[in-house]
Structure 1
Amino acid sequence: MFSIRQHVHATRPHGSFRLFIGSYRVVAAFLCALLPLGVLSSPAHAATAVTYFVSPSGSDSNPGTSGNAPFRTLTKAQTAVRAIDKTTSGPITVTLGGGVYQLTKTLTFTAADSGGGTAGTVWWKAAAGQTPVISGGVRITGWARTSTGSDIWSAPAPSGLDTRQLYVDGVRAQRATGSLPVSLTQTATGYTTASGDPMAGWRNPSAIEFVYRGGLGLWTEPRCPVASVTSTAITMAQPCWNNSTQRVMRTDDSGRTYNLVGRKSITEKPTAVENAYELLDKPGEFYLDKSEHRFYYIPRSGEDLTTADVEAPSLDTLVSSSGKASDEPSHVGFQGIQFSYANYTTSNTGTGFSEIQATYQVTGTTGYATQGLCDFVSGGTCPYGNWTKMPGAVRFTYDKSIHFDHDYFVHLRAAGLDLGDGSQNDTVTACVFTDISGNGLDLGGVDIPQPSSSAQHTSGITVKDSHFYNTATEYHGGIAIDAGYIETSTITHNQIDHVPYTAI
């Protein structure tokens, strides 16, 4: 298990605030002297604080009420918290011991997990000095050289696993990549090639992906999978190809598409080819052969695969809300927790990654002709500009007062944290976002420009004192913080650096 805390520290406020009320203290003291003693005395039955303990080495048969007898799983702790009467209890804390909490199912929060009342915020927090990691990954073991003296090592992958990432001792590996090995001529369905295209003889040609840096505008990097390869033709996967080559143009001679972002079509040749065994030639590159359920990897200098912690993301979403306004969680906090190894594989399918901007994308079989074009074209979907957003590894929608404090979002696919539609009065304080494939933090979305109910408003969010760096490591059109339709929210005193496109 790799802890990001070994290498980074969240930024901290430069000072603290003290409140001085001068002579008003005299008035307050005088008023207190006039109050009956019973008004100032404590209630006869003070609410009792409740603390549960969890550890990867614990047992769900334990009572979970002490560090010596902790639960083992987060779901067991969640069940215990749900059973508490929040209207009469004191503060509720779930203390997580250090180690990896490997999830096989998303930890979902609903109204039943809410705090409030005398319980206040229900905090899920790291034990003092320890690093709990909520992980959606699986460990890959059994590495061996493919042949004597070969630089390439291989290991079995879990059956059915599909992933775009691999991490060796906490360092992201690069999918096998290289240059296009043949000249191309673009067609309506893909390309024609010179006779004898070497890619026709590659293993698993339908796993190959073409990358187009700047392909639909300088700020974009669309990616489309290959469907098939012959000696003279490459057929691209649908609907990615149509969505990236047939966007609808305005008829006012402006030369712009109706979506007003980017251009009609990819016209350049791919700037890179990814995900082929035949491209595996540099230290730090890997290839997953899904047909034979096997990883291939060339170790970097100093890496020992017989002892290394090699992790492959498996679970798409680590933590989320129910997504229902009628079942919204509220007053829940996470403190000192690392979220890692979430998966995202939509780009591996025919959908590909037909980017608009900031990792928003066109999807669906007729997306190029209708998605988000509303009344501008026949059959256009509304609202205007309603493009598809990448999901967050941690995702809350329709919630109130969800707090992230000194947490770490690292080694993640797509977006790190998504506080989406209907998120209200949430806070992100002194967190670290790094080594994320897409956006670091998404706020709101582009699908509800005019909320029709109070629950649909995304408002009152505060993001402060956090550090965003090395985000959009795979989808280079991504940004550190994306703010969609949000209201009365504050983004302040954050450090953003080493991002490929835009900060906010």
Structure 2
Amino acid sequence: MKQTILIWFFIFFSLGSLSAQTGEIHVGKQSSKEQRDGSPGAPFSCLEDALREAREWRRLNDPRMHHGITIWIQDGQYVPTQTIFIRPEDSGTAESPTWIKAVGNEAIFSGGISIEGWQPVKGEKRLDPAIAKHIVVADAPQAGGKYFPFRQLWVGSRKAIRAESHDDDHLPRIINWDFKQQAAIIPNVFPKKFVYKAGMEFFIHQWWAIAQLRVREAVVTKDSTTLFFHEPEGKLQNEHPWPKPWLSKEYGNSAFRLVNALEFLDQPGEWFLDEENHKVYYYKRPDENLSKLHVVAPYLETILRMQGTLESPVRHVYIEGLQFQHSSWLRPHYAGHVALQAGMYFLDAYKLAKPGTVDKAGLENQAWLGRPQAAVLLRHTAFTKISACRFAHLAATGIDYRAGNLKDSLNGNLFQDIGGSGILLGQFSDEQMEAHLPFQPNNERILTDGVVVSNNLIQDIGNEDWGTVGIGAGFVRNVAITNNELLDLPYTGISLGWGWTPTVNAMRNNRVLKNKITRYGKYMYDVAGIYTLSAQPGTKIQENYIDSIYVSPYAHIPEHWFYLYTDEGSAYMNVSNNWFPS
């Protein structure tokens, strides 16, 4: 941590001395002037207007941009109504970069909308009177005059818990899974007599991934309940072979819970959105006064997108000291979420009647995958820098270098309280490409190449999708993942590679060096501090420190964990001089 703080101080000191030579544009929340021109006394009210001004300077070759442009962001919470889009026309050059820098420590870009007007609940017959006295209710928020769904809620700096039948540490186990009927059989382990409510969801732990299924019907008997699910997730859950519901007399069956019903609202910190009546219910924690706390529901899935093209990438844009908060992720709301690995979810998957593909004679299944949304997304970029930023209170991925990223850097940032992966790099499986195929594009500019991820602190990620990772890299080359610290992880720390194939592909010459990974595998096993897949010539994994795996209460096989795991197809790598306790 001391090393990270020193790096941040060096960045601020060295780059601050450069700013006097650059043209300056200001963004701020407060201005007494009606006409805002981006000056210190009349700052623009949003980043988009400042980007437009900088774009015009470059278009007109204004002298103010010759040594670079600095967009200064004053403290405050900025709430864009749509994703902020940085385009090729916003690019700088090595001699004249575009900086987007925080003036202080509280320049926050939020993808959420505030909820106000909380009142004690009255006359709600669905709630036990003993519990109702702790519940407050408010009108659901609107965006553009319309109500919108959301799956997360933050009360002040704390994430609230979507109303659930059982908490993370006390999940019951399924009785069985009926693949013929595409149904889960679960015990009747609910405080009251179970009554199915529309909108309920089923969360299940499956080996190294989870699934979230929308319940279509529930058939209750004396001793058990049979759950049926909506499509497309019902078919996906039953047809994909890996990973599937775990049934084991020795270790116990898959753990589960039910989510999203007012009747489950029975613990401090839980909340429920009544979409039909447009009300939000919240069970107050004892120390909370909601009139003094900022309560936020996420609205935007991506807060900032930096995207160019193969021919014209976004270049030399540097972001420093900003905070990104309150992103949403809604695919599970409309289509469920059945994951294969590292949070990548099935679009289609099934077992092959006759095994074998061109690349793998013994492969017995096929899968096509989607990729979760990210709060910050970079595609077709070059020589960009993101430093000293904070990514927190986010629904899915923190930041995603999705494709075509050349020599970008991500240095000295904090990732905390994130529902999915902290950082993703490069292509995994495109939606049109079968997941087990080696990736070797004709145009190598599509690859994420030479990106440096260094000195970042990543903790408390994957707190909704337990199968996501701290840092995940797919088909990447010349990437350096160095001197990062990762802790409090539900699954793997650093995952490098994709494809499950020994065939030489686009991956090569990656570096995973001097990272510290502790307190991982909190819920999922078949896990490692550092995990690799597929052939990666010239790759080095060295001088990493890995320790303190959790004892997962739900591991399908309690012995199936590793400090470093070279999984299927891993080849042509130098793995040496790493430290583990045993």
1:178-231: CA deviations, max 9, x gaps?
147997773523257899x978745xx231111112x2x2x2121111123455
Q: Which residue of structure 1 aligns with residue 343 of structure 2?
A: 359
1:3-43: CA deviations, max 9, x gaps?
xxxxx9982358999xxxxxxxxxxxxxxxxxxxxxxxxxx
AA aligned opposite 1:398: H
Q: Which residue of structure 1 aligns with residue 101 of structure 2?
A: 125
Q: Which residue of structure 2 aligns with residue 381 of structure 1?
A: none
1:272 and 1:427 map into 2 onto residues whose CA distance is 40
Q: Which residue of structure 1 aligns with residue 508 of structure 2?
A: none
Runs of 4+ in 1 over 6 A off after TM superposition: 14-17, 180-185, 192-195, 197-200
**Aligned with 1:61: secondary structure?**
coil
Q: Report if aligned partners of 2:174, 2:256 keep a CA contact under 8 Å in 1.
A: no
Q: Confirm or deny that 1:223 pairs with 2:200.
A: no
2:374 and 2:460 map into 1 onto residues whose CA distance is 16
Q: Report if aligned partners of 1:11, 1:495 keep a CA contact under 8 Å in 2.
A: no
Choose from 479, 484, 504 the match for 1:494: 484
Q: Which residue of structure 2 aligns with residue 461 of structure 1?
A: 451
Q: Which residue of structure 1 aligns with residue 298 of structure 2?
A: 313
Taking only the aligned residue pairs, the percentage that are identical comes to: 26
Q: State the shift of 1:145 in Å.
A: 0.9
2:285 and 2:55 map into 1 onto residues whose CA distance is 47
Q: Confirm or deny that 1:135 pairs with 2:146.
A: no
AA aligned opposite 1:147: K
Residue 192 to residue 339, structure 1, CA distance change in 2 (3 Å): closer
1:182 and 1:503 map into 2 onto residues whose CA distance is 28
2:324 and 2:305 map into 1 onto residues whose CA distance is 12
1:150-189 matches, cutoff 5 A: 150-158=133-141, 159-179=146-166, 186=178, 188-189=181-182
2:187 and 2:446 map into 1 onto residues whose CA distance is 54
Residue 16 to residue 208, structure 1, CA distance change in 2 (3 Å): closer
Give the gaps of 5 or more residues in structure 2: 11-19, 124-131, 167-171, 248-252, 360-365, 431-438, 495-582
Q: Report if aligned partners of 2:401, 2:425 keep a CA contact under 8 Å in 1.
A: yes
1:226 and 1:334 map into 2 onto residues whose CA distance is 43
Q: Report if aligned partners of 1:286, 1:297 keep a CA contact under 8 Å in 2.
A: yes
Q: Which residue of structure 1 aligns with residue 385 of structure 2?
A: 403
Q: Report if aligned partners of 2:319, 2:385 keep a CA contact under 8 Å in 1.
A: yes
1:430-474: CA deviations, max 9, x gaps?
100000000000011213721221421211100111100011111
Choose from 185, 199, 206 the match for 1:207: 199
When the two chains are superposed, the root-mean-square deviation of aligned CA atoms in Å is: 3.1
Q: Which residue of structure 1 aligns with residue 545 of structure 2?
A: none
Deviates more, 1:182-191 or 1:88-97: 182-191
Q: Report if aligned partners of 1:223, 1:352 keep a CA contact under 8 Å in 2.
A: yes
Q: TM-score, normalised by structure 2?
A: 0.69
Residue 432 to residue 10, structure 1, CA distance change in 2 (3 Å): farther
1:225 and 1:9 map into 2 onto residues whose CA distance is 45
Residue 288 to residue 93, structure 1, CA distance change in 2 (3 Å): same
Larger Rg: 1
Q: Which residue of structure 2 aligns with residue 190 of structure 1?
A: 183
Q: Which residue of structure 1 aligns with residue 70 of structure 2?
A: 93
> Structure with the greater relative contact order (CA < 8 A, sep ≥ 6): 1 or 2?
1
Residue 60 to residue 451, structure 1, CA distance change in 2 (3 Å): farther
Give the gaps of 5 or more residues in structure 1: 1-7, 18-46, 248-256, 378-383
Q: Confirm or deny that 1:394 pairs with 2:351.
A: no
Q: TM-score, normalised by structure 1?
A: 0.79
Residue 319 to residue 374, structure 1, CA distance change in 2 (3 Å): farther
Higher strand share: 2
Residue 451 to residue 184, structure 1, CA distance change in 2 (3 Å): closer
1:41-440 matches, cutoff 5 A: 49-58=22-31, 61-65=35-39, 67-85=40-58, 89-116=66-93, 118-119=95-96, 121-127=97-103, 129-147=104-122, 150-158=133-141, 159-179=146-166, 186=178, 188-191=181-184, 201-202=195-196, 205-213=197-205, 215=206, 217=207, 219-229=208-218, 234-247=227-240, 257=241, 262-265=242-245, 268=253, 271-322=256-307, 324-349=309-334, 351-363=335-347, 366-368=348-350, 375=357, 387-440=369-422
2:108 and 2:9 map into 1 onto residues whose CA distance is 30
Q: Report if aligned partners of 1:400, 1:424 keep a CA contact under 8 Å in 2.
A: yes
1:226 and 1:15 map into 2 onto residues whose CA distance is 47
1:21-70: CA deviations, max 9, x gaps?
xxxxxxxxxxxxxxxxxxxxxxxxxx9721100012247831112x2211
Aligned length: 436
Q: Report if aligned partners of 1:54, 1:95 keep a CA contact under 8 Å in 2.
A: yes
